[in-house]
Amino acid sequence: MPALQPVRGTQDLLPEEQRRHRAVIETARRIAERYGFQEISTPIFEFTEVFARPIGETSDIVTKEMYSFADRGGDEVTLRPEYTAGIVRAIISNGLTQNLPLKFFAAGPMFRYERPQKGRFRQFHQIDIELIGVAQPQADIEVIALGADILEALGVLERTVLELNTLGDASSRQAYRQALVAYYTEHRARLSEDSLARLERNPLRILDSKDEGDKRVNAGAPSFADYLTPEARAFFDAVRAGLDRLGISYRVSPRLVRGLDYYCHTAFEFVTTDLGAQGTVLGGGRYDGLMSLMGGPETPGVGWAAGIERLAALMHEPGAPPRPIAVIPMGEQGEGEAMKLAHRLRHAGYVVDLGYSGNLKKRMERANKINARAAVILGEDELRRNAASLRDLDTREQIEVPLAELEHRLARFQS
């Protein structure tokens, strides 16, 4: 193993990449606040049951991808692979079901042990939206609209397609599941090993298989639309009508599924081909059965998550960071005054870089290297006159300015 290298599937977010990540989070946070969503933060690790119960003990995420371990007290804990289960746990733990509806925004790292590839890491980051306690289709419309607004603000929306489907209600789902099992049982010999295993556990997931043989079998599979109850059909019609009213375009995708029984009604993904193979940028859906599965009261919910790494790769270049003011002291007296002046300018709202050592030439080289907008030079001669030399580093113009007027004179250099 190479010494001093990051673990496979992780990455260092150096300042430029961190700036893009921060732009994604701050943009999403700002727009989520306009919709009335409040920020929440849950622990990075939880008791394993928090994730294993809703995700499914036999799912690939639980059996192959979760980072689970026994801590020193013997408790089985897991680094979170997704946000929703932890947020639902927080709602139950804190008795928040008395305050419905709840609208939460979150952002942070997730952990899954899977094959690293472009836009996919073992430690990755997500923004997350959850709207809890609203059974009406207006909630689905609102969270999709919020996602679209965030993607638009990041300059990503035009590079994605919104795929939309209905998973129906419990009755629809049960009838469709039976139809799928009957159909796939007739074609067992043509199914992949993964799909044969899914046939026993969650046959809907076969519809989402990437295996070419499975795709050929899926071409003749029954359509969910033929098994929707009138109530489920009306719900989906209302979601589509709402998106139409808001001018949010979409494509109905019958093969867009969720394999777990607590999902129902709306499923959606904003997908792109700009990251190589078609990939999901933002995806979610309705999960009315999750709260009760985790031990809480029957409570509807709908939400989505989006990968920050993928959004950062797709987004327009964020605005450049503000160019600093370089404070350059010369001599012992200048060193003492420079610390005071830098402190004063920072309190006045300026980004200030304070040189620590070197002659004037070395310090000016650093000022240019960090793309400083101006330099404030504190030499002994200037300080005797209670002044400083102010140099415009773009035009090279230099003037002497009284120290008392520095904030005012620097205003034109703020960016």
Domain-wise residue ranges, the chain: 15-169+229-314, 325-413
Q: How many CB atoms lie within 10 A of CB 177?
A: 15
Question: Is residue 3 scored above 70 in pLDDT?
Answer: no
pLDDT tens readout for residues 363-375: 889 999 989 999 9
Q: Please tell us whether the domain made up of 325-413 is placed in CATH 3.40.50.800.
A: yes
Q: In this structure, what are the phi and psi dihedrals at residue 156, rounded to the nearest 5 degrees? A: -110, -25
Average confidence score pLDDT of the chain: 89
Give the DSSP H/E element, type plus range, for residue 267.
strand 264-272
Place 39 in a pLDDT band, splitting at 50, 70 and 90: very high
Q: Which positions ≥6 away from 26 have C-beta within 8 Å?
A: none
Cross-strand bridge partners of residue 402: 387
Place 116 in a pLDDT band, splitting at 50, 70 and 90: low
Place 195 in a pLDDT band, splitting at 50, 70 and 90: confident
| Of 363, 350, 353, the residue nearest 406 (C-alpha) | 350
Q: What CATH topology corresponds to 15-169+229-314?
A: BirA Bifunctional Protein; domain 2 (3.30.930)
Tell me the Cα Rg of the chain: 28
8 A C-beta contact, residue 95 and residue 295: no
Lowest mean pLDDT among 105-114, 129-138, 256-265: 256-265
Is 325-413 in the same CATH topology as 15-169+229-314? no
What the block records as the tokens of 359 is: 């002659």
- End-to-end Cα, the chain, rounded Å: 45
8 A C-beta contact, residue 209 and residue 192: yes
Q: Which positions ≥6 away from 56 have C-beta within 8 Å?
A: 62, 201, 202, 259, 260
Residues above pLDDT 90, as percent of the chain: 55
Instruction: Note the pLDDT of residue 74.
Output: 92
Instruction: Note the pLDDT of residue 386.
Output: 92
**What is the three-class DSSP state of 40?**
coil
CA–CA dist 238, 167 (Å, integer): 14
Q: Which positions ≥6 away from 22 have C-beta within 8 Å?
A: none
**What is the three-class DSSP state of 373?**
coil
Question: Is residue 277 scored above 70 in pLDDT?
Answer: no
HEC assignment per residue over 387-411? EEEEEECCCCCEEEEEHHHHHHHHH
Quick one: average pLDDT of 106-117?
86
Number of separate helices (H) and strands (E) present in the chain: 15, 16
Q: In this structure, what are the phi and psi dihedrals at residue 394, rounded to the nearest 5 degrees? A: -90, -40
CA–CA dist 415, 413 (Å, integer): 6
CA–CA dist 159, 273 (Å, integer): 8
Quick one: average pLDDT of 263-284?
86
pTM of the model: 0.85
Q: In this structure, what are the phi and psi dihedrals at residue 73, rounded to the nearest 5 degrees? A: -90, 0
Specify burial of residue 208 (Cβ count, 10 A radius: 0-12, 13-18, 19+). middle
Quick one: average pLDDT of 384-413?
91
Provide the edge-to-edge strand list for the sheet that holds 68-70.
45-47, 76-79, 68-70
Q: What is the DSSP string of 82-116?
A: -SHHHHHHHHHHTTGGGG-SEEEEEEEEEE-----
CA–CA dist 374, 60 (Å, integer): 56
CA–CA dist 262, 293 (Å, integer): 8
- DSSP class of residue 318 equals P
